[in-house]
Amino acid sequence: MLSRRSLFTTLILPLALGACVTTQEEMLVKAPRIALTDAARYGALEDNGFRIPAADPDDIKPRNVRQLVNNPTGQEPGTLVVDPRNRFLYLVQENGKALRYGVGVGRAGLEFSGTANVGTKREWPSWRPTDAMIAREPAKYRPWAGGMAGGETNPLGARALYLFKDGKDTLYRIHGTNEPWTIGEAVSSGCIRMMNQDVIDLYRRVPNGTKVVVFPG
């Protein structure tokens, strides 16, 4: 009999092709269970006509739970900081604190680093692979060259923040994912992925124009 995760992978994962999708075998070792109070943050949601399923507590490592920590970034309040090496995203707060989220990051050679700004924000964004992705893996990405509408199987999840540098789209996104067990791993085609419940929380807190600092991976 197929396990829950194997059945999900068999039926759903082939639909989620695109920029920022998983590009390695899914992780088979389950993480320690998080506290019930933390698990409640990742319950099922109804959002703009779409349903976000509850994240399985076995899929969430305790270190990746959204939490307030001492600010380790040296950046000013209001700044978003991505630390790909440690696989965290920080929203810097006042009084030496930061709101920390666990994230999935891009594989080596595919990630962006430097300073950018949130150029635009979208709820349930559509997606299409970049021309470079189509050229690199045409069999995988060409079927989606016309784009994929936003929705529950879209690899960008419930929200996306689009990063711009010097007024130009970097093609680098901070976005949700329908694969919460990949948080904390280096699995995407360059973007930063978050649990849908976390990216909705972040989206509410971050205005357009927010400074984003991405450390080298």
- Residues with a catalytic annotation lie at 175, 191
Q: CB neighbours of 108 closer than 8 A, spacing ≥ 6?
A: 186, 217
The total number of residues shown for the chain amounts to 217
Residue 59 CA, distance from chain mean position: 15
Measured from the Cβ of residue 77, the count of other Cβ atoms closer than 10 Å reads 13
Nearest to 166 by CA among 124, 114, 202, 216: 114
Structure tokens belonging to residue 131: 């021309």
Q: What is the DSSP string of 61-75?
A: -GGGS-EEEE--S-P
Beta strands in 17-66, from DSSP E residues, in sequence order? 45-47, 50-52
